[in-house]
Chains A and B, each alone.
Chain A
Amino acid sequence: MTRRSVNWMELAGALMVAGLIIVAVLAPVIAPHDPTRAVAPTYGNPGPPSAAFPLGTDELGRDVLSRIIYGARISLTVGIAAVLVTLAIGVTIGLGAGFFGGTVDFLLMRFTDVMLTLPGLLLAMALVTVLGPSLITILTVIGLVSWTQIARVVRAETLTLSQRDFVIAARALGAPPRRLIVRHLLPNVMPIIVVMAALGTSGTLLLDAGLSFLGLGVPPPTPSWGRMIEEATIYFRTAPWLATFPGLAIFYAVMGFNLLGYGYLRRRGR
């Protein structure tokens, strides 16, 4: 096993994610057009890629490139914020189960088992339909259906750590639970949490895109990549570029986070 501090996968992933963040932050500077306004003369018909519009225009004459650039904002926001919600739930439950053990562990883990049997996408669809699609709803719902994996991993790590000498020593010295968790367990669980966050972001990005594709994403006119593909499906024969490019954008973002996460796991030999 090579012992380099960072491997090429992590580096590539970090560069891809950094690029994505830059595009999202600088969207107004980079985007050649207003993403919500008709700028092409071909109003009513999608326009093919050209010198003026490198990725073509959609049926409302809007520039696809500009919409994808602005879409990075909403996709990245949803992806990262949803992972934070997921982590908040998953880490709390995992740490709680691993630290307190006994009945608490049993109940929390059986609850996790139940959540694991529920079909995530169906559950998310039902909740978004009932609560109405808004940014807050989507973040909450994605968090509610994706935390189980993180809870399990964090619980396993906590259980292992609790057997380590420094934790046992701290406990023997009379450290209260709060201090044990915050000062001793959490910092040591952090690396695996960061990896799960990277991998989790690729998951939430795909889930958000899937919901948007089913018409349950952040409502228009906000350009979201998933919604762009959904709107493009009726033109897939006449204007294939409409569905192709937003999908490549999702692929790029998800791939970046996956390289980051798997690169770390591979370096650690997991």
Chain B
Amino acid sequence: MLIYLARRIVFGAVVLLGTSLITFLIAFVIPADPAVAMAGAKADPQTLATIRHELGLDQPLYVQYGRYLDRALHGDLGRSYIRRQSVTALIVSRFPATAILAVSAMALSLILGVLMGTVAAAWHDRPIDHTLLVFSLGLVSMPVFWLGTMLLIAGGLYLRDFPLGGFEGPRSLVLPTITLALGSAGYYSRILHTNLVEALGQDYVRTARGKGLSPARTMFKHAMANALLPLVTLAGLDLAGLLSGVVLTETVFDWPGIGRLAFEAIFNLDIPLIMGTVLFAAFLIVVANLAVDLLYLWLDPRIRLEQAP
């Protein structure tokens, strides 16, 4: 089990290393001169040369990458060219808004998704299953920025004192949370439905029914335990994605999160900030992968008891 864990950690580190390399190469290809971005277009060549030297831009590429990696490992992602602040500090300052939205959206989508998926599986191939199927596909098919805009319109028309954008108290959380949650809820309900239907056809579930257990008890005690496992992986990775910022939803609702930060960074070609936000997102995904692996060890005895290869 320890070997298994060690392998997963090494694997995560390797993936992160690859990600940092790709991010670095993309940033290198961007045809914007950081020195000009910092000093302004009117700076004299002397100043530009000094800045380039200070930033280490006159060094060979692999030296620059080594430095970047070394600093990143110490939590230093460089300084934003435009905002002139530390990238790490900027991400940290935007994280609370994004985190609150991510957690509430994930909670809502899981509640809705599990509810719809369970009902659809319990009445498999009946009208309610087909209705829920089309409904959840509908949720998946909506462009998230359009759903957000529609909710804003509805909010503006019918809910007079509803905050229409910005992050001011719990009420402002409602519309963006719904916007983010509905699509994933549709997705989760489809996955859970498929897994539940498959689990319900397995021998151990038939045995449980044969012993005389009620359909509800078989469903929740036996089938659900296995059907929920794949959902854990999905939800874990999705949560990481949400925590790294949601550009479209944050744009619609003028939400001061990491998604907006990344959006502005890209528009300003603020390279350290672009690299920082991308690397932060990748880091969260790797951590989420590890967390899901750990959770599996705890949830699924088949992995826990298996001899590590």
Q: Which residues of A are in contact with B by a Cβ distance under 8 Å? A: 9, 110-111, 113-114, 116-119, 121-123, 125-127, 129-130, 202, 206, 209-210, 213-214, 226, 229, 232-233, 236-237, 240, 243-244, 246-247, 250-251, 254-255, 258-259, 262, 266, 270
- Asked if B150 and A126 sit within 8 Å, CB to CB, the answer is no
- Interface size of B by CB at 8 A reads 49
Query: What 1/0 flags go to B88-119 for Cβ under 8 Å of A?
Result: 00000000000000000000000000000000
Q: Which residues of B contact A118 (CB under 8 A)?
A: 19, 22-23, 278, 281-282
- Asked if A262 and B190 sit within 8 Å, CB to CB, the answer is yes
Inter-chain CB contacts under 8 Å: number: 129
B262: interface (CB < 8 Å) = yes
Q: Given the interface contacts A213-B145, A243-B146, does A119 sit within 8 Å of B263 by beta carbon?
A: no
B135 → A minimal CB distance (Å): 11
A111 to B14, CA, bound (A): 10
Q: Given A129-B269, A254-B143, output 6 extra A-B contacts at Cβ < 8 Å.
A: A110-B18, A119-B282, A126-B278, A210-B144, A213-B248, A270-B194
A200 → B minimal CB distance (Å): 14
The 3 lowest CB-CB distance pairs between A and B, nearest first, are: A247-B146, A114-B18, A254-B141
Of B144, B241, B266, most A-chain CB atoms within 10 Å: B266
Q: Which residues of B contact A244 (CB under 8 A)?
A: 150, 153
B138: interface (CB < 8 Å) = yes
Q: Which residues of A contact B144 (CB under 8 A)?
A: 210
Q: Which residues of A contact B282 (CB under 8 A)?
A: 117-119
- Asked if B277 and A229 sit within 8 Å, CB to CB, the answer is no
B192: interface (CB < 8 Å) = no
Q: Given the interface contacts A118-B282, A255-B138, does A250 sit within 8 Å of B146 by beta carbon?
A: yes
B137: interface (CB < 8 Å) = yes
B15: interface (CB < 8 Å) = yes
Query: What 1/0 flags go to B152-185 for Cβ under 8 Å of A?
Result: 1100110000000000000000000000000000
- Asked if A206 and B278 sit within 8 Å, CB to CB, the answer is no
- Asked if A129 and B266 sit within 8 Å, CB to CB, the answer is yes
B142: interface (CB < 8 Å) = yes
Query: What 1/0 flags go to B272-302 for Cβ under 8 Å of A?
Result: 0010011001100110000000000000000
B2: interface (CB < 8 Å) = no
A153 → B minimal CB distance (Å): 15
Enumerate B173-211 residues with CB–CB distance to A below 8 Å.
Answer: 190, 194
- Asked if B141 and A123 sit within 8 Å, CB to CB, the answer is no
- Asked if A117 and B156 sit within 8 Å, CB to CB, the answer is no
A176 to B137, CA, bound (A): 43
Q: Which residues of A contact B14 (CB under 8 A)?
A: 110
Q: Given the interface contacts A118-B281, A206-B143, A210-B248, does A255 sit within 8 Å of B137 by beta carbon?
A: yes
A9 to B14, CA, bound (A): 43
Q: Given the interface contacts A114-B18, A117-B286, A236-B153, does A226 sit within 8 Å of B141 by beta carbon?
A: no
Q: Which residues of B contact A122 (CB under 8 A)?
A: 247, 262, 266, 274, 277-278, 281
A10 → B minimal CB distance (Å): 12
B246 → A minimal CB distance (Å): 9
Q: Given the interface contacts A114-B15, A213-B145, A258-B141, does A121 sit within 8 Å of B248 by beta carbon?
A: yes
- Asked if A114 and B141 sit within 8 Å, CB to CB, the answer is no
A181 to B244, CA, bound (A): 40
**Which among A113, A236, A258 is the interface contact of B140 at CB below 8 angstroms?**
A258
- Asked if B149 and A113 sit within 8 Å, CB to CB, the answer is no
- Asked if A117 and B16 sit within 8 Å, CB to CB, the answer is yes
- Asked if B149 and A247 sit within 8 Å, CB to CB, the answer is yes
| A-B residue pairs in contact (CB < 8 Å), sample of 9 | A113-B15, A114-B15, A117-B282, A121-B247, A122-B281, A209-B143, A232-B149, A251-B143, A258-B141
- Asked if A236 and B149 sit within 8 Å, CB to CB, the answer is yes
- Asked if B146 and A119 sit within 8 Å, CB to CB, the answer is no
A202 to B143, CA, bound (A): 10
Q: Which residues of A contact B252 (CB under 8 A)?
A: 233
The residue of chain B having its C-beta at the shortest distance from the C-beta of A111 within the complex is: B18
- Asked if A119 and B241 sit within 8 Å, CB to CB, the answer is yes
- Asked if A258 and B137 sit within 8 Å, CB to CB, the answer is yes
- Asked if A250 and B143 sit within 8 Å, CB to CB, the answer is yes
- Asked if B149 and A119 sit within 8 Å, CB to CB, the answer is no
B31: interface (CB < 8 Å) = yes
Q: Which residues of B contact A202 (CB under 8 A)?
A: 140-141
B251: interface (CB < 8 Å) = yes
The residue of chain A having its C-beta at the shortest distance from the C-beta of B156 within the complex is: A237
The residue of chain B having its C-beta at the shortest distance from the C-beta of A215 within the complex is: B267
Q: Given the interface contacts A117-B15, A117-B286, A250-B143, does A262 sit within 8 Å of B248 by beta carbon?
A: no
